[in-house]
């Protein structure tokens, strides 16, 4: 097939958990692209992947793969992005990076199109950062409430899917599930751990039949890197550099779709009715909140969908300025690939 007249796009990390979903999204969205180049490590060079209904060969990452490229999406580990994104940018490519390498760089905008699209235009380093999946799974809903009520404080707990740790996370949960399926395990201390042995993959503890109060690496005073990302990135996206944010990140045995409980305190008194109106009409948000009918969002229904789903909307019992919410979003779609695709589409529109 001959490429169309649109900008040339490179997908770097096309074979990964995020890259795989990116190829689906590129095949589902309006096709604005000319050539699409698929890039990964030398391990994957020569593999063929389908995008826009066409088998496309994966090429190994090198300086030359960026020749003629207008926009590159980076879906690779932090250290790979840290090294290669500036190389691509120096060759005139606008990089939309999914890693954590540049998110807190003051010269790199951190963009969620529904919340702060305007910031994408100012990119002194030629790099735009995509927030982390946990922040992204809640921030569209919070941005809408903040625009009306003025956010003053956040207390968040996450229930994170294993695909947040990439393909290795998914493989690990599936293997552990096969080890515990059909057994009586989960009834005495350590029985799951003994069955799983050292097959814990990227997680510090067994994740099948378990919840693990840890995601990322150890930071100061017992906080995890994932918790610090949610705090720092929420502040940057919302333009609230001193927002008090308390986060606990927890891994659960779900393949894909992160969930969060959120306690959000605002400037003044809030009403549930108005909050529900805002959430029901905010772009990118679906209100799914009818506990009497047993309706609330869960990962099993949210996986594979684009919006941020919100349920269990309540006013805090002891604070009329605060709301309690349960938020759920696909960490590989809005939490990663979809948001990146939306940013790339914004940049492509500038170019046309």
Ligand X SMILES: NC(=O)c1ccc[n+]([C@@H]2O[C@H](COP(=O)([O-])OP(=O)(O)OC[C@H]3O[C@@H](n4cnc5c(N)ncnc54)[C@H](OP(=O)(O)O)[C@@H]3O)[C@@H](O)[C@H]2O)c1
Q: Examine residue 132 and tell whether it contacts ligand X (CB under 6 A).
A: yes
Taking CB under 6 A as the criterion, the residue among 24, 27, 116, 167 binding ligand X is 167
Catalytic annotation present for 133: yes
- 146 catalytic, yes or no? no
Q: Is 329 a residue that touches ligand X (CB under 6 A)?
A: no
186 is an annotated ligand-binding site residue = no
d(CA 184, CA 108): 51
Among 40, 279, 327, 328, binds ligand X (CB under 6 A): 40
Which of 158/180 has CB closer to ligand X? Answer: 158
Q: Please, what is the minimum distance in Å from the beta carbon of residue 275 to ligand X? A: 27
Residues 242, 231: Cα–Cα separation, whole Å: 10
Binding segment (CB under 6 A) for ligand X, from list 29-37, 162-170, 277-285, 297-305: 162-170
Instruction: Please check if 28 is assigned to a binding site.
Output: no
Least separation in angstroms between CB 23 and ligand X: 11
Q: How far is the CB of 352 from ligand X (least distance, A)?
A: 27
Active-site position among 146, 249, 258, 288? 258
Residue 116 makes contact with ligand X by CB under 6 A: no
- What part of residues 43-102 is at the interface with ligand X (CB under 6 A)? 43-44, 61, 75-78, 80, 98-99
Alpha-carbon distance of 111 to 129, in angstroms, equals 6
Establish whether 46 is an annotated binding residue: no
From the list 7, 166, 299, 311, which residue makes contact with ligand X (rule: CB under 6 A)? 166
Out of 8, 10, 11, 15, point to the residue binding ligand X (CB under 6 A).
Answer: 15
C-beta of 164 vs 299, nearer to ligand X: 164
Binding residue positions for phosphate: 103
Query: Looking at the annotation, which residues are catalytic?
Result: 133, 258
Residues in contact with ligand X by CB under 6 A are: 13-19, 40-41, 43-44, 61, 75-78, 80, 98-99, 132-133, 163-164, 166-167, 331-332, 335-336
């Amino acid at each position: 097939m001959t490429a169309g007249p649109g900008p040339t796009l490179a997908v770097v990390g096309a074979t990964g958990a995020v890259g795989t979903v990116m190829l689906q999204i590129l095949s589902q969205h309006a096709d604005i692209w000319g050539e699409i180049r698929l890039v990964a490590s030398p391990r994957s060079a020569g593999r063929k992947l389908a995008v826009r209904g066409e088998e496309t060969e994966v090429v190994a990452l090198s300086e030359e793969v960026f020749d003629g490229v207008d926009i590159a999406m980076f879906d690779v580990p932090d250290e790979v992005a840290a090294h290669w994104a500036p190389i691509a940018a120096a060759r005139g490519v606008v990089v939309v990076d999914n890693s954590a390498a540049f998110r807190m760089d003051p010269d790199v905008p951190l963009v969620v199109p529904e919340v702060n699209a305007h910031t994408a235009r100012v990119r002194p380093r030629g790099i735009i950062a995509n927030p982390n999946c946990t922040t992204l799974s809640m921030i569209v809903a919070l941005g809408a409430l903040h625009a009306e009520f003025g956010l003053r404080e956040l207390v968040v707990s996450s229930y994170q899917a294993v695909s947040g740790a990439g393909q290795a996370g998914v493989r690990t949960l599936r293997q552990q599930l096969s080890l515990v399926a059909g057994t009586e395990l989960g009834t005495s201390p350590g029985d799951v751990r003994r069955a799983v042995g050292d097959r814990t993959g990227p997680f510090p503890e067994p994740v099948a039949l378990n919840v693990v109060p840890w995601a990322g690496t150890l930071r100061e005073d017992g906080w995890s890197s994932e918790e610090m990302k949610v705090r720092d990135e929420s502040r940057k996206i919302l333009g609230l550099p001193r927002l008090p944010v308390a986060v606990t990140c927890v891994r659960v045995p779900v393949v894909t779709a992160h969930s969060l409980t959120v306690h959000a305190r605002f400037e003044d008194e809030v009403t549930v009715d108005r909050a529900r109106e805002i959430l029901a009409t905010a772009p990118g948000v679906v209100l799914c909140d009818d506990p009497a009918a047993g309706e609330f969002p869960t990962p099993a229904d949210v996986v594979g969908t684009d919006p941020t789903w919100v349920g269990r909307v309540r006013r805090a019992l002891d604070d009329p300025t605060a709301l309690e919410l349960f938020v759920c979003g696909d960490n590989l779609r809005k939490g990663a690939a979809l948001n990146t695709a939306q940013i790339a589409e914004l940049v492509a529109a500038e170019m046309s």
